[in-house]
Amino acid sequence: MNETWIILGATSSMARAYARKVSETGAAVILAGRNTKELAALATDCEIRGARSAKAAKLDVRDEKTFGAIIKDAIKEEGTINVACFVGSMPDQSEIDDDPSLIDGVVTDSFTGPAKFLQTIAPELEARDGGTVVGVGSVAGDRGRVGNYVYGAAKAGFHTYLSGLRNRLTRSGGHVVTVKPGFVDTAMTWGIEGMFLVAKPEDIADEIHKAVKKKRNTIYTPFFWRYIMLIIRSIPEPIFKKMSI
C-alpha cells in the first residue's frame, strides 16, 4: 500500500532517524521544518534508502500560512497520509522565569502549533480512511516539575489533544500514537546537567516504528520511563512540592 509520511520538525535527530526508517519501507516522505537546506540533504538520503519520493518543505508552526503548501503536496500522493510530529522547544525554565513572554513560543512550538497543523489536515486523513498520526510529547507532560513546568504544561496539553484526536480518527479507521520519551541525546538536551538513562535518537525511532505497526496508543520510550513516571506521579503533592527532581 502507498504511504506518505509528513514529518514535522524533521531536523530533529529523532525525526531524521524516523524518516530514514519509513523511507526503507518505500514510503513517500515530506520533510517539513524551518531549515529547508538541511532538509534537502536529508531528502537525498531518504531517496537513496528507498523512499518513493522525498522532498523538503518549509514549516514554521508559529506561522499557519506555511501549512497549506505541505498539505497540498501530501494530497497529490495516492494512498494513506500519515503525520509524525517531532516539533517542540524547551528554553531553560530560568529564562522563562525572567521573561514570561517566552511562554507563548514554547506553547506554540510544543502544543498549539502542531495541534493546528493536525486539525487542518485531519479532514484529509478522514477522507482517506484514516492514516496514522505520531505525536511526540514528553514524560515532562506527566507532572509539573520546578525545572521545566512551562514546557511540561505544553506537552500535557499536547497529550490531551492527541487523546481527543485518537478518539476522532478511530471513527474513520485512523490511529494516533502518543510518544513520551525520557531523556534523549539530541540538540534539545545538549549541555543539560543531571540527565540519566539517556537514550539514542535511533533507538527512539525504532520504538516509534514498532508502536505504529502495533497500533499502540501511548508509549513511554525507552519503556522503563513508564515505571519511573508511575513512581513520580504517585509521590504525594505535599512531598513532591519540596522536591527538585
Ligand X SMILES: NC(=O)c1ccc[n+]([C@@H]2O[C@H](COP(=O)([O-])OP(=O)(O)OC[C@H]3O[C@@H](n4cnc5c(N)ncnc54)[C@H](OP(=O)(O)O)[C@@H]3O)[C@@H](O)[C@H]2O)c1
Question: Which of 19, 54, 88, 161: binder of ligand X (CB under 6 A)?
Answer: 88
Taking CB under 6 A as the criterion, the residue among 47, 60, 73, 77 binding ligand X is 60
Q: According to CB under 6 A, which one of 4, 9, 131, 169 is a site residue for ligand X? A: 9
- Count interface residues toward ligand X (CB under 6 A): 29
d(CA 159, CA 154): 9
Q: Shortest gap between Cβ of 74 and ligand X (angstroms)?
A: 17
In the complex, what is the shortest distance from the CB of residue 41 to ligand X, in angstroms, rounded to a whole number?
13
Q: CA 85 from chain center: how many Å?
A: 3
Instruction: Check binding of 235 to ligand X (CB under 6 A).
Output: no
Sequence-separated (6 or more) residues with CB below 8 Å from residue 244? 146, 147
Residue among 3, 109, 142, 207 that touches ligand X (CB under 6 A): 109
Can you tell me which of 80, 112, 148, 186 binds ligand X, judged by CB under 6 A?
Answer: 186
Min CB(11)–ligand X separation in Å = 3
Q: Give 110 or 178: the residue with its C-beta nearer to ligand X.
A: 110
126 burial via Cβ count (<10 Å: 0-12, 13-18, 19+)? middle
* Binding track, positions 113-152, relative to ligand X; x by CB under 6 A: x----------------------x-x--------------
Radius of gyration of the chain measured on its C-alpha atoms: 18
Does 219 help bind ligand X (rule: CB under 6 A)?
no
User: Given the complex with ligand X, which of 80 and 165 has the nearer CB atom?
Assistant: 165
Bridge partners of 28?
A: 4
Q: Of 116 and 128, which has the nearer Cβ to ligand X? A: 116
Closer to ligand X by CB, 233 or 241: give it. Answer: 233
- Segment near ligand X (CB under 6 A), from 31-39, 73-81, 207-215, 225-233? 31-39
List residues binding ligand X (CB under 6 A): 9, 11-14, 33-35, 59-62, 86-90, 109-110, 113, 136, 138, 181, 183-184, 186-189
